[in-house]
């Protein structure tokens, strides 16, 4: 098929197969990809609304046994820079989130062997007891699998227990590239294979949770493998309809074991547009301005994105790998309006909550991103002593 014929098929609402998607990705001019993706976006969201959410990205621990080669965030068990946040610290972060109009935490962390499932259940219950309306968008599929493995509790039971404790939805982190060849090279196959990641999302959808889906590109994968990733997501979405949105970002190489260079802005926009075209059963596609910066984030709206993601109050993972773009609500709204769209606040289910908070009341401006912990803070939360550790270092620490 020629590029023109594939473009006509997309314009007519047709579904692309792998060969057609590859031909389009490789051969179509960037403006054509943007045009096709923009048309799909306009059909799905004819009112020109661009949504965003006010939430906080909290990483409850940086201690991790997975050791992914693309990760600059984790610290090994026993490392002096390893931390676990205390419940009180997390409450304080929630208070700050509420003060700027937020209603949700995106809570993710390393695969810490010294946090049993009871720690998560107690944390979630404590959050819900104190903030009944506050939402917990927490624990990516590999974290769920890690909890299942170290506690020897089956995945459906882990999900059931966490939902009973207060889990509202699951973020799509840890998907990286859903191709096991790539996962083995990046040392993220054992934390979750492609089938395991998808299987946990299937379980979550069956349990009634909505989740997001992600893709990190720009390491060792081929174009064919990027398309395979998208097709696997599309297939699960056909089956369950449980994904609310798709988010893609480029690998951030600084301070990682894998190293290398970062993909360009044009490659990002092409990949984003391709995702919008291939994922014909996803309503929402996010702009990843945290890795691309506000200007490319704004351009994303012309390449299929209809959502600006989260107002970043705190970010630790991408920052550790060298990117620390920051936009508060005022800047996100300015970018959206300047591009000719209508900004609206939303919740995790992509339901519109209203107009920008700062137009309704005074909120503190956030001109710098917060971090999980300040560098000189090595404190160990009191409540950790209530939970049994598994690692030698963790056991020693809890005896102190």
Judged by beta carbon, residue 159 or residue 318, the one nearer ligand SF4 is: 318
Judged by beta carbon, residue 111 or residue 344, the one nearer ligand SF4 is: 111
Cα separation, 246 vs 212, in Å, equals: 6
Distance of alpha carbon 371 from the chain centroid: 17
Residue 397, Cβ density class (10 Å: 0-12 exposed, 13-18 middle, ≥19 buried): middle
In the complex, the smallest distance separating the C-beta of residue 138 from ligand SF4, rounded to whole angstroms, is 14
Judged by beta carbon, residue 22 or residue 71, the one nearer ligand SF4 is: 71
Residue 273, Cβ density class (10 Å: 0-12 exposed, 13-18 middle, ≥19 buried): buried
Q: Residues 132, 138, 143, 149: what is their CA dihedral angle, to the nearest 10 degrees?
A: 30
The contact mask relative to ligand SF4 for 123-152 (x = CB under 6 A, - = no) is -------------------x----------
Judged by beta carbon, residue 72 or residue 274, the one nearer ligand SF4 is: 72
Compute how many residues bind ligand SF4; rule: CB under 6 A: 12
Give the chain's count of helices (H) and strands (E): 15, 10
> Could you say which residues in the range 308-367 bind ligand SF4, by CB under 6 A?
none
CB atoms < 10 A from the CB of 2, how many? 9
Encoding tokens for residue 125?
């219950």
Judged by beta carbon, residue 139 or residue 332, the one nearer ligand SF4 is: 139
Q: Any contact of residue 249 with ligand SF4 (CB under 6 A)?
A: no
> Could you say which residues in the range 38-97 bind ligand SF4, by CB under 6 A?
64, 66-68, 71, 73-74
Judged by beta carbon, residue 67 or residue 149, the one nearer ligand SF4 is: 67
In the complex, the smallest distance separating the C-beta of residue 337 from ligand SF4, rounded to whole angstroms, is 35
3-state SS assignment for residue 334: helix
In the complex, the smallest distance separating the C-beta of residue 158 from ligand SF4, rounded to whole angstroms, is 17
The contact mask relative to ligand SF4 for 173-192 (x = CB under 6 A, - = no) is ---------------x--x-
Cα separation, 202 vs 15, in Å, equals: 23
In the complex, the smallest distance separating the C-beta of residue 191 from ligand SF4, rounded to whole angstroms, is 5
Cα separation, 95 vs 102, in Å, equals: 9
Cα separation, 285 vs 82, in Å, equals: 34
In the complex, the smallest distance separating the C-beta of residue 290 from ligand SF4, rounded to whole angstroms, is 15
Cα separation, 284 vs 152, in Å, equals: 35
Cα separation, 108 vs 191, in Å, equals: 15
Cα separation, 343 vs 347, in Å, equals: 13
> Could you say which residues in the range 189-228 bind ligand SF4, by CB under 6 A?
191
In the complex, the smallest distance separating the C-beta of residue 267 from ligand SF4, rounded to whole angstroms, is 22
Q: Are 50 and 343 in contact (CB under 8 A)?
A: yes
In the complex, the smallest distance separating the C-beta of residue 252 from ligand SF4, rounded to whole angstroms, is 11
Judged by beta carbon, residue 74 or residue 341, the one nearer ligand SF4 is: 74
In the complex, the smallest distance separating the C-beta of residue 71 from ligand SF4, rounded to whole angstroms, is 3
Select the residue interacting with ligand SF4 from 82, 110, 242, 309 (CB under 6 A): 110
In the complex, the smallest distance separating the C-beta of residue 63 from ligand SF4, rounded to whole angstroms, is 9
Judged by beta carbon, residue 252 or residue 347, the one nearer ligand SF4 is: 252
Judged by beta carbon, residue 66 or residue 98, the one nearer ligand SF4 is: 66
Percent of the chain as helix, strand, coil, to the nearest 5: 45, 15, 40
In the complex, the smallest distance separating the C-beta of residue 110 from ligand SF4, rounded to whole angstroms, is 4
Encoding tokens for residue 263?
């993909």
Judged by beta carbon, residue 189 or residue 282, the one nearer ligand SF4 is: 189
Q: Which is nearest to 333 in space by CA: 363, 367, 300, 357?
A: 357
Chain residues binding ligand SF4 by CB under 6 A are 64, 66-68, 71, 73-74, 110-111, 142, 188, 191
């Amino acid at each position: 098929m020629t590029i023109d014929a594939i473009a006509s098929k997309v314009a007519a609402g047709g579904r692309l197969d792998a060969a057609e998607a590859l031909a389009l990705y490789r051969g179509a001019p960037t403006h054509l990809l943007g045009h096709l993706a923009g048309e799909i976006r306009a059909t799905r969201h004819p009112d020109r609304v661009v949504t965003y959410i006010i939430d906080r990205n909290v990483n409850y621990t940086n201690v991790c046994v997975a050791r992914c080669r693309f990760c600059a965030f984790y610290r090994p068990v026993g490392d002096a820079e390893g931390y676990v946040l205390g419940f009180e610290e997390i409450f304080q972060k929630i208070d700050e989130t509420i003060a700027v109009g937020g209603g949700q935490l995106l809570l993710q962390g390393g695969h810490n062997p010294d946090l049993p499932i009871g720690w998560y259940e107690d944390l979630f219950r404590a959050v819900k007891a104190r903030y009944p309306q506050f939402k917990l968008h927490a624990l990516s599929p590999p974290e769920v699998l890690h909890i299942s493995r170290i506690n020897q509790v089956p995945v459906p039971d882990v999900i059931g227990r966490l939902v009973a404790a207060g889990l509202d939805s699951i973020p799509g982190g840890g998907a990286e590239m859903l191709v096991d060849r790539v996962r083995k090279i990046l040392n993220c196959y054992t934390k979750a294979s492609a089938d395991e990641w998808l299987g946990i999302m299937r379980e979550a959808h069956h349990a009634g949770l909505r989740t997001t889906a992600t893709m990190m590109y720009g390491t060792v994968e081929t174009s064919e493998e990027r398309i395979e990733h998208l097709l696997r997501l599309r297939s699960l979405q056909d089956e369950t309809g449980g994904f609310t949105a798709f988010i893609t970002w480029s690998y951030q190489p600084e301070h990682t074991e894998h190293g290398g260079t970062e993909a360009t802005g044009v490659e990002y926009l092409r990949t984003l547009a391709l995702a919008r075209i291939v994922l014909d059963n996803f309503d929402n596609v996010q702009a990843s301005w945290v890795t691309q910066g506000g200007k490319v984030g704004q351009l994303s709206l012309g390449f299929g994105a209809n959502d600006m993601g989260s107002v970043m109050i705190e970010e630790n993972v991408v920052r550790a790998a060298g990117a620390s773009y920051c936009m508060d609500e005022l800047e996100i709204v300015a970018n959206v309006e300047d591009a000719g769209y209508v900004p609206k606040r939303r919740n995790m289910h992509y339901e519109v909550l209203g107009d920008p908070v700062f137009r309704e009341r005074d909120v503190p401006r956030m001109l710098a991103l917060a971090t999980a912990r300040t560098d000189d803070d090595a404190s160990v939360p009191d409540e950790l002593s209530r939970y049994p550790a598994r690692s030698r270092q963790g056991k020693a620490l809890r005896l102190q």
